[in-house]
A and B are shown apart, each in its own frame.
Chain A
Amino acid sequence: MKASAALALLAGLVGIVVVAAMTPAGPAGLFSALATVYTRPDLLATAVLYAGPIAASAVGLAVAYRAGFLTIGSEGQVLLGALASMWVIGYSGLRLPPVLAVASALLLALVAGLLLGLVVGVLRAWLGVNETLSSLMLNYIVLAYANYLIAGPWRVGAFTETKSIPPSCSLAWPVVLACLLAMAVVLEVLVRRTRLGLAVEALGAAPRAAETYSLPSRRLYLYVSALQGATAGVGGALMLMGFQRVLTAMSVSPGYGYMGILVAWMALLSPLASLLASYFFSTLIVAGYILQSYRVPFNTVLVIQSIIVLAVLAYVMIGRRSRRP
């Protein structure tokens, strides 16, 4: 069985080579772009910035998925968090000093994400509405609202875009890293060392049994949905102040929240491991930007990430099975 587990990884590698061969850059171009990223300190620092919204989404999703709460609302929560930060910095009329502006942007993004997450949680806990679909619909609703703001009340200048946030409100990579580490450590401790973490685990493993042993499953769904939304909301602030700076009309959502879903599963639902996996995915994103100059569509990165996650999951699954007597 060990051989077949290794086969899963090999199949993944073959898949990546095939996908790269479908693009103008080819496999060689892909690997050299990756080599460039990993040998240039400035690009490695940039990768921390891009990891912001991905990791922030993933750490919360990891906890939610442990509870069996299969939301995919992180995408909309990231976007709403970014809108909240943009409002604080650009449109609230408050003339806050930079440090205070950044802090309140982070806080408001957190609250916005939390509330949106809570909508999904309330619908699930009280009405039994399937969270995967409801959260997905909310993603599109937020996207439509963002586009309305960007094309309407928030529009400045000749293009369909908002104001840019001032350089004084940009976040450097150590700040982003500190935010991410704080969230990941807190959630990792919560998952591994607290009663709440244990309850979450039990609820995810056997929802009916959890009910039988009188776990407050409704309240648990509310907790994890709020927590998950809050971290993704912070991700939106990190996206805006880390690298995005200006919001333009979008036909498709930015996608960092969706990548967080892939990351959470790849990290086997550990918040701390999600941090590492996000960084790895983020270096792929930076490589993707290099490859764009070879006319490689940016979403090629998404295919490669998907293949990696699938290969890792298959590897783990086959490994677990073979260990069973």
Chain B
Amino acid sequence: MNPAAIMLTGLSEATPLLLAALGEMIVERSGRVNLGVEGMMAVGAAAAAYAGVYTGSLAASLAFGALAACLLALVYVVAVVILGLDQIVVGLILVFMGKGLADIIGSWAGGAPGTPLTPIPGLGIDLVETASLALPPILWLILYHSWLGVELRAVGEDEEEAAARGINVRLVRGLAVLVGAALAGIGGAYVADAFHYGRWFSGVTEGLGWIAIADVILGYWHPLGVLAACYLTGLLFAVKPLLPVLGVPAELVDAAPYLAVLAAQVVATVICRRLGLTPPASVWWGELTG
């Protein structure tokens, strides 16, 4: 493989991570953590495959992926945002619920090929990749240069103050969770449609949701930072087939991306502590490690 091809593969591997991570970043900026990304991506992939197989439409496939993840996230909205249950526990529950539901919905599709997502001729990247590359700058504009972004961050930084200024905290948080879920769902749909010809199998998105959450931290809760973190982890997956040639022992090849993310997480934590940086949002991260 030549370097250009690896870069392109890396971009494609990074796309589902980027979509999910940007979604989680929005949630965390609103002051909550949704650990259920893994479950939402799984459901997104299964619903996308099912819709793709039965409608034959790529748009329907992606839309159903987003919708299914939103429906799952409604559980989080009711339990955490409205009832006030522990966000960590509910997030974990969402992971298991999502994986199970994905297996049920995926079994309806029966492993048939659905709607493959192929690169735009002459451009080398597909529609979703293009859109996901446009997303970080757009989110940057929204977060830092619009009233919507100010409201979202205000809710995240100091919810009592935000409420006193007349912001509906629950509404903002609920919407943030649903937008985050939609993005994770599309991320899952992308895995099925772009990597597996719209076909679904159990565990098709395995592990990606967790790496996306790590990428939010590695990207320091900033849209452009998250873009960089996701692209680098995408590259890790892209170079995986080359590792044996480079002399990496066989027992480490499959574990390599996870080892690298773990190492990056350790280094990032240490650096942030040395510099006295705390997470910008009032998320559990700061609460627990500060």
Contact = CB atoms under 8 A, between A and B. Distances in A.
A152 B101 CA distance: 33
Contacts of B217: 130, 133
A250 B29 CA distance: 36
B79 A140 contact: no
Interface stretch (A141-149, A162-170, A179-187): A141-149
Contact of B266 (A123, A132, A136, A318): A123
A19 B104 contact: yes
A317 B83 contact: yes
Given A130-B285, A141-B262, A306 B251 contact: no
B54 interface: no
B9 interface: no
Interface in B91-147: 92-94, 96-97, 99-107
B258 A303 contact: no
B207 A310 contact: no
Contact of A136 (B79, B210, B253): B210
A279 interface: no
Contacts of A265: 89
29 contacts: A19-B104, A22-B105, A127-B269, A128-B269, A128-B270, A128-B273, A128-B289, A129-B266, A133-B213, A136-B210, A137-B210, A140-B207, A140-B258, A141-B255, A141-B259, A148-B250, A148-B254, A251-B203, A251-B206, A258-B96, A297-B107, A299-B102, A300-B100, A300-B104, A303-B97, A303-B100, A305-B96, A306-B96, A310-B90
Interface residues of A, number: 51
B57 interface: no
Contacts of A133: 210, 213-214, 217, 265
A252 B202 contact: yes
Instruction: Tell me the interface secondary structure of chain A in the complex.
Output: helix
Nearest to A304: B100
B288 A68 contact: yes
A321 to B, nearest CB: 8
B266 A317 contact: no
B104 to A, nearest CB: 5
B88 interface: yes
Interface residues of B, number: 50
Interface of A: 19, 22-23, 68, 70, 72, 123, 127-130, 132-134, 136-138, 140-141, 144-145, 147-149, 152, 207, 251-252, 258-259, 261-262, 265, 295, 297-307, 309-310, 313-314, 317-318
A68 B35 CA distance: 16
Given A140-B255, A141-B258, A298 B103 contact: yes
A66 to B, nearest CB: 13
A259 B99 CA distance: 12
A151 B25 CA distance: 38
A137 B214 contact: yes
Contacts, number: 135
Instruction: Tell me the interface secondary structure of chain B in the complex.
Output: helix
B261 interface: yes
A144 B100 contact: no
B230 to A, nearest CB: 15
A306 B88 contact: no
A152 B285 CA distance: 39
B100 A145 contact: no
A261 B99 CA distance: 15
Contacts of A297: 100, 103-104, 106-107, 202
Contacts of A19: 101, 104
B261 to A, nearest CB: 6
Q: Which of B83, B97, B213, B285 has the most CB of A within 10 A?
A: B97
A299 B254 CA distance: 25
B212 to A, nearest CB: 11
B85 A313 contact: yes
Interface in B43-80: 75, 79
B84 interface: yes
Interface in B218-276: 250-255, 258-259, 261-262, 265-266, 269-270, 273
Contact of B93 (A134, A136, A262, A304): A262
A315 to B, nearest CB: 11
B85 A317 contact: yes
Contacts of B85: 310, 313-314, 317
A93 B217 CA distance: 45
Q: Which 5 A/B pairs are nearest by Cβ-Cβ distance?
A: A303-B100, A144-B254, A144-B255, A302-B100, A297-B103
A144 B251 CA distance: 8
A248 to B, nearest CB: 15
A314 B83 contact: yes
Given A128-B269, A148-B251, A258-B96, A70 B262 contact: no
A262 B262 CA distance: 24
Contacts of A318: 83
Contact of B101 (A144, A303, A309): A303
